[in-house]
Structure 1
C-alpha cells in the first residue's frame, strides 16, 4: 500500500482524486493539506504542509504556483517523493524543481492526462514523417473562460516536443494580427480559445497540399488529470532521486 499526502486536497481536482481513489486499491490518502478546512474529508487535513506529521510515501500536489517551492523544501527535508501537478510555474519555480530532483524523486508534467501525453508522442511521430513533406503545423487549444494563462502549458509542451523533433529552428507565433505577410515555413502557430466550461481541448493540424491531418484530444472532466496523477504517484513512490515525467510512465 502506498500512502499519499494530497497537497491541495480541497480544490476541484483534489476532490476528484478523493472520489476515484477507491478504484486504486494499492493507494491510500492518509492526509491532506489545504488552506480551506471547511470541506469534510475521510482523512485529516492541515492548513500548511509544515503542520502535517503523518508519515507518507509520496506527495501529490494540485495546489497553486506559489505553494510549490515551500512544498519541495519540505519534501527535501523529509526525503519524500513529490508528484507536482500544479501549472503556471515561473521559470524560477521550474529551476528549483530541477534542483530538488537532485535530492528526491520529482514527477513533473505540463498535463497529467495519459491521453494528452500519448497525443504528444503521436505529434512527434507525425512531425518526423510530415515535416519534410512541406506540411505546416498549427496548434489550437480551448479552455474554460476562467483560465488565466494563454497559451496553455499543454499547448507549449506540444509545441516544444514538435520543435525538438525538427531539424531546423522554428518560431512559435501566438498572434498574426500585426503581421502583414505570408506564413513563413518555419513557423508554428499557437491559438488560444477561451469560453464556457471547456475542460480542455487540444488539436494539432498538419496542413499539406490538398490534405490535412488532425490529431485531437478532448477532456470531458478533470478526472482524467486525477487518474494520471495517481498513476504517477504509484510510479514514483519508490524511485531514486531524479526528474520524471509522463514519457517515463508511458514507457513503463
Structure 2
C-alpha cells in the first residue's frame, strides 16, 4: 500500500483526494499538511511538512504556491517522489523543481485531468496545421475564489500551442481600449471568474468564414484528484526526472 503525504489536505482539492483514497485499498494517507485545523479526516495533521517524522512513499501537493518550496526540499531530503499540482509558482520555485528532478522523480502539470491533456494534444496538432490561416484565442473560466489568472492550465495550453508553431505567438492577456486591433503575431488568453465554475478551457481557431472550437469542461474536481493519484502511482519507482501528463497519457 502506497503511503502518501497530502499537502493542502484541508483544501477543496485535498478533500477530494482524501475521499478517493479513503475508498481505496491501494493507498493510505499517513500525514496531512495544512495551515488550517483538521476538520474532516482521521489521519494525522501537521502545519509544516518538516514536523512529520514517519515513513512515506510519495507526496501529493495541492497546497499554496508559497508552500511548494518546503515540500520540494522535504522530498529531496527524504528521496521521495512528488506530484506538484499547485499553480501560480514563481520562477524561482519552478527552477527549484527542475533542479530537484535531477535527483528525484517529480511529476508536474498545470492540470491533472486526463481530458484537458488530451485537449492539449488536439490543439497542438490543430495549431500546427492551421498556423498560417487562423487566429488563436484561449478562454478560461473558473470559480470566483481562484487566486491566479490566467490559470496554469491556460498557460500550459498556450505554451503547448507555441511549441507546435513554426513562429510562436506573442501572448496577450485580455484586450481593451480603442487601439486594440488584433495583431497577426498574438495569441490572447481571456480569464473569467465567477460563481462555482469548476474549470472550463476553450481554444478558438478563427479563420476566414469558419471557426473551430475545442473545449473541455470539468463538472467535478474529482477528475483532478483521480489524475493526481494516478500520477503518484505512475512515478512511484521511476528514476529521477521531470514527468508530466504526456508521459502518463502515452503510457496508459
Place the TM-score, normalised by the shorter chain, in its bin. Answer: over 0.9
Question: Partner residue of 1:178?
Answer: 177
Q: Aligned Cα RMSD in Å?
A: 1.5
- Counterpart mapping for 1:144-159 below 5 A: 144-159=143-158
CA deviations over 1:176-200 (Å, ceiling 9, x no partner) = 3136254222211111111111111
Q: Does 1:79 align with 2:87?
A: no
- Counterpart mapping for 1:206-217 below 5 A: 206-217=205-216
Alignment partners' CA distance in 2, 1:160 and 1:217: 17
C-alpha distance 37-215 of structure 1, shift in aligned 2 (>3 A): same
Shift of 1:35: 2.1
- Number of residue-to-residue matches in the alignment: 251
C-alpha distance 181-68 of structure 1, shift in aligned 2 (>3 A): closer
- Counterpart mapping for 1:3-42 below 5 A: 3-22=3-22, 24-42=24-42
CA deviations over 1:64-113 (Å, ceiling 9, x no partner) = 11111111111111111110111111111101111111111111111111
CA deviations over 1:116-154 (Å, ceiling 9, x no partner) = 11111111011122223x011110011111222221111
Question: Partner residue of 1:197?
Answer: 196
- Specify the SS of the correspondent of 2:217: strand
Shift of 1:20: 1.4
C-alpha distance 181-84 of structure 1, shift in aligned 2 (>3 A): closer
C-alpha distance 38-205 of structure 1, shift in aligned 2 (>3 A): same
CA deviations over 1:186-225 (Å, ceiling 9, x no partner) = 2111111111111111000011111111100111121111
Question: Partner residue of 1:245?
Answer: 244
Contact 1:171 1:188 in 2 (8 A): yes
- Counterpart mapping for 1:216-235 below 5 A: 216-235=215-234
Shift of 1:26: 2.4
Alignment partners' CA distance in 2, 1:154 and 1:176: 20
C-alpha distance 103-183 of structure 1, shift in aligned 2 (>3 A): same
Contact 2:5 2:56 in 1 (8 A): yes
Shift of 1:24: 4.2
The 10-residue stretch of structure 1 (13-22 or 33-42) with the greater mean CA deviation from structure 2: 33-42
- Specify the SS of the correspondent of 1:65: coil
- Specify the SS of the correspondent of 2:128: helix
Shift of 1:227: 0.8
Q: Does 1:49 align with 2:66?
A: no
C-alpha distance 139-40 of structure 1, shift in aligned 2 (>3 A): closer
Gaps of 5+ in 1: none
CA deviations over 1:2-59 (Å, ceiling 9, x no partner) = 2211111111111111111255432222222222233142322222211112211111
Gaps of 5+ in 2: none
